Structure 1
Amino acid sequence: MVLSATLERGTSAPDHDVPTPSESDSGVRVLFDIGHPAQVHLFRNALSVLQRGGHETFVASRVKEVTVELLDAYGIDHAPITTRGDSFPGLMWELLLREKRLLSVARRFEPDVIVSRLSPAAAHVSTVVGCRNVVVSDTHIDSRLMRILNYRMTLPFVDTVCAPDSFEMPVSAKKRRSLDFQELAYLHPQYFEPEPFALSMYGIDPTEPYFLIRLAGWDAYHDVGHRGLSPESARELVSLLSEHGTVYLSAEGDLPPDLADHALPTPPEAIHDVLYYADLYVGDSGTMSTEAALLGTPAIRTNTMVGDDDENVFHELEDRYGLLSSFGDEDRAIEAVKRLVEAGIDEAEWHRKRDRLIEEQPDVTERMVETILETATEQ
């Protein structure tokens, strides 16, 4: 029943949606496999740079959360080929379906290179059609079994892996390219300029104090065995922060009825404007915690993944730049929130910390594009 329901919800890309090669093409053909909202942000500026450089691009997308809505909002050409499964068997079925449909798209598009996060479908399809595969990765899979399975299904077929220097991955140094703080691909000042009107038109005054709480879904394969912020703690945070300003909640699923009035009213593409102007971010999402920190907004992250073996990006943001605090215990996180708001937040100080990071880190999008083009033309 689950498998049939997943199949019925799955979508396929009509042939006419996929651009085919023409005699006038002179650039590299790049197919992006995008299955998550964060990947839209990660790759969207690289897509623009490639297009301006005369290269042909296309996206095979996935119906998951607001992925399709974001691609549409940014005017990115794409075709949804699967819908996220809602159980483990459903996810396995979707993986098989995605391989089949991505292969169909690739055969029509004829890419020189497929760009993706670590994806069995992208790795396998690139091998079958005889093109290159570039992987951009920085997400640790905590479950050893899931990590081994994913690596064994993908890495033997991958040509180039862009990952932070400290990120452990069983690939040769020849295949690796250094790429730290990957969220700078869309949050570097060269690509991101905050737009207060994006908030005011939805009733948020960026000049007044407000706070953002994020509740992630915790149902991805790399989240197995872990949990984030509980509804009880979310309620406690709302009560605490409401004494100091307006509180908004962003959630992957439905909010509890008693918290629904705090739902963030802005569209998905305005989330980084929301984060930039927020006085404080607190939540269990690793990506959004990093985004807030990179925008110079005080960020407090809490989930059961936090620990000594945390991904290096979190250690760097906390220990080197002082932009993030992480807690494995949500009660300690709440205490940290209380101390911060009661002491008062010096916005200028946090922006100075962010400016230092920007000065010390390279242009992630530029490096990504260079790697894609180099890999595409390698023999």
Structure 2
Amino acid sequence: MRVIITIQHPAHVHFFRHTIRALQAAEHDVHVLTRERPMALLLLDHYGIEYDVLTGPFDSPVKMVVGQLRYEYNVFKAVRRLDPDVITAIGEPAIAHSSTLFDVESVLFTDTEHATLGNALAFPFARRVYTPDCYEDDIGSKQVRYPGYHELAYLHPNRFEPDPSVLSDVGLDPADRFVVLRLVDWNAAHDVGDSGFEDVADVVESLEDTGVRVFITAEGGVPEAVEDHRLPVEPHRVHHLLYYADLFIGESATMATESAVLGTPGIFVSTSRRGYTNELEERYGLVFNFSGQDRQTQAVTRGISILDDYDQETWDDRRERMLADKIDTTQFIIGRITEAADRRDRVERSSRDRAARS
């Protein structure tokens, strides 16, 4: 089969990379289309995934609108040229629109309820919308829920084995305690109007008072006072560092979840919430969400409490309970793409049969 996969965010590279390898190993034809996002391109290059860049970066609302229109037009051209059996993406309106325009099977994944604009543009045109079972919105009859998280497409034990050499990469000994802190730039369409920390330097100082080291990973700039805390590790090795961390705290729901599924407690600080981080808190006690006006103070207080009473066995037990309930998401992705291709094949054979009879 011929498959088009579109990438809009670095996390999407991780979500699809094992699927891409499996499809290619089975001699299927996979085409990856992406926007010009430096970190996503860096990861695609690292994993040896070939791709076509369809549009440049945009850093303002006007450029975002123009860029999206250009991107959609280029996706249309690619679908018309490649004539795929299936097109798939995470929350991407362009593939839903292309599937309708060219009568192609689309496989749309999403886990972000508050991506309201993208969802409104994509859902009416999608053939199927696949969501984790903790997704809090009801999309209707085209929604298919599954027991998993996006992050289990690449961090499930079937897919990930931690590499302890990452510790020496950042100057740590196995006995050293440390925290990973994540800052986002709030430029994504679904992040507009959201915010997280108010004083990053204060967060770092408060956590380090417990005796841990704090490493910062950021999409954009870092306050000068904590610039020396930037994480000195290659992006594709961050998950290994998260596995060995004592705590994650940050403005990224994705990284909070990545930490949780690796058995590291995660603290998510943002004015918005997610169904999956809510479930990881309420059902498994692996993530703690803080979204109110005093979110920074509450988050730091919880972080200090976790560090003061740290017990790795507790987090491992919670992780195992979660994994017992969830699936290897990559297997689910591959299954849905194959299922969609089979549907298209059945429709085409039926159409040929009718034409032959007439």
Q: TM-score, normalised by structure 1?
A: 0.85
What letter is aligned with 1:154?
Answer: A
Q: 1:215 & 1:88 partners in 2: Cα distance?
A: 21
C-alpha contact (below 8 Å) 1:199/1:266 kept by paired residues: no
Which residue does the alignment assign to 2:355? none
Of the three residues 276, 295, 300, the one matched with 1:313 is 276
Structure 2 residues not aligned, in runs of 5+: 348-358
What letter is aligned with 1:98?
Answer: Y
Deviation at 1:35, TM superposition (A): 0.9
Of the three residues 329, 336, 354, the one matched with 2:302 is 336
Which residue does the alignment assign to 1:278? 245
Q: 1:169 & 1:158 partners in 2: Cα distance?
A: 16
Which residue does the alignment assign to 1:347? 312
Pair 1:301–1:166, CA change in 2 (3 A): closer
Is residue 2:187 matched to residue 1:223?
Answer: no
Deviation at 1:170, TM superposition (A): 5.8
C-alpha contact (below 8 Å) 2:132/2:146 kept by paired residues: yes
Equivalent residues in 2 for 1:29-44, closer than 5 Å: 29-44=2-17
C-alpha contact (below 8 Å) 1:210/1:248 kept by paired residues: yes
Is residue 2:212 matched to residue 1:239?
Answer: no
Deviation at 1:65, TM superposition (A): 4.4
Q: 2:36 & 2:98 partners in 1: Cα distance?
A: 20
What letter is aligned with 1:198?
Answer: V
C-alpha contact (below 8 Å) 1:32/1:57 kept by paired residues: yes
What letter is aligned with 1:220?
Answer: A
Which residue does the alignment assign to 2:334? 369
Which residue does the alignment assign to 1:7? none
Q: 2:48 & 2:174 partners in 1: Cα distance?
A: 26
Residues 229-261 of structure 1 deviation map (CA, whole Å, 9 limit, x = unaligned): 12x2x2122112223122100111011122111
Which residue does the alignment assign to 1:114? 87
What letter is aligned with 1:185?
Answer: A
Which residue does the alignment assign to 1:265? 232
Deviation at 1:200, TM superposition (A): 2.1
* Structure 2 residue matching 1:163: 3-state secondary structure: strand
Deviation at 1:336, TM superposition (A): 1.1
C-alpha contact (below 8 Å) 2:79/2:98 kept by paired residues: yes
Pair 1:258–1:168, CA change in 2 (3 A): closer
Of the three residues 71, 76, 85, the one matched with 1:103 is 76
Residues 189-243 of structure 1 deviation map (CA, whole Å, 9 limit, x = unaligned): 000101122342343444421111111122222122221112x2x2122112223
Of the three residues 256, 265, 277, the one matched with 1:298 is 265
Deviation at 1:158, TM superposition (A): 1.1
Which residue does the alignment assign to 2:47? 74
Q: 2:138 & 2:323 partners in 1: Cα distance?
A: 30
* Structure 1 residue matching 2:281: 3-state secondary structure: helix
* Structure 2 residue matching 1:94: 3-state secondary structure: helix
Is residue 2:19 matched to residue 1:54?
Answer: no
Deviation at 1:298, TM superposition (A): 1.4
Q: TM-score, normalised by structure 2?
A: 0.89
RMSD: 1.8
Which residue does the alignment assign to 1:123? 96
Which residue does the alignment assign to 1:23? none
C-alpha contact (below 8 Å) 1:159/1:175 kept by paired residues: no
Deviation at 1:172, TM superposition (A): 3.6
* Structure 2 residue matching 1:114: 3-state secondary structure: strand
Pair 1:332–1:77, CA change in 2 (3 A): same
C-alpha contact (below 8 Å) 1:140/1:222 kept by paired residues: no
C-alpha contact (below 8 Å) 1:180/1:313 kept by paired residues: no
Residues 146-196 of structure 1 deviation map (CA, whole Å, 9 limit, x = unaligned): x2x534422232111110234355644255243532211111000010112
C-alpha contact (below 8 Å) 1:138/1:163 kept by paired residues: yes
What letter is aligned with 2:212?
Answer: G
Deviation at 1:311, TM superposition (A): 2.8
Pair 1:166–1:300, CA change in 2 (3 A): closer
Instruction: Give the paired residue count.
Output: 340
Equivalent residues in 2 for 1:80-159, closer than 5 Å: 80-141=53-114, 147=116, 149-159=117-127
* Structure 2 residue matching 1:353: 3-state secondary structure: helix
Is residue 2:294 matched to residue 1:327?
Answer: no
Residues 305-357 of structure 1 deviation map (CA, whole Å, 9 limit, x = unaligned): 2xxxx4331222112111111112111111112222223x1112211211121
C-alpha contact (below 8 Å) 1:228/1:304 kept by paired residues: yes
Q: 2:224 & 2:140 partners in 1: Cα distance?
A: 50
Pair 1:93–1:49, CA change in 2 (3 A): same
* Structure 2 residue matching 1:60: 3-state secondary structure: strand
C-alpha contact (below 8 Å) 1:185/1:364 kept by paired residues: yes
C-alpha contact (below 8 Å) 1:65/1:252 kept by paired residues: no
Q: Which runs of 4+ in 1 moved over 6 A?
A: none
Percent of aligned positions that are identical: 37
C-alpha contact (below 8 Å) 2:147/2:325 kept by paired residues: no
Deviation at 1:121, TM superposition (A): 1.5
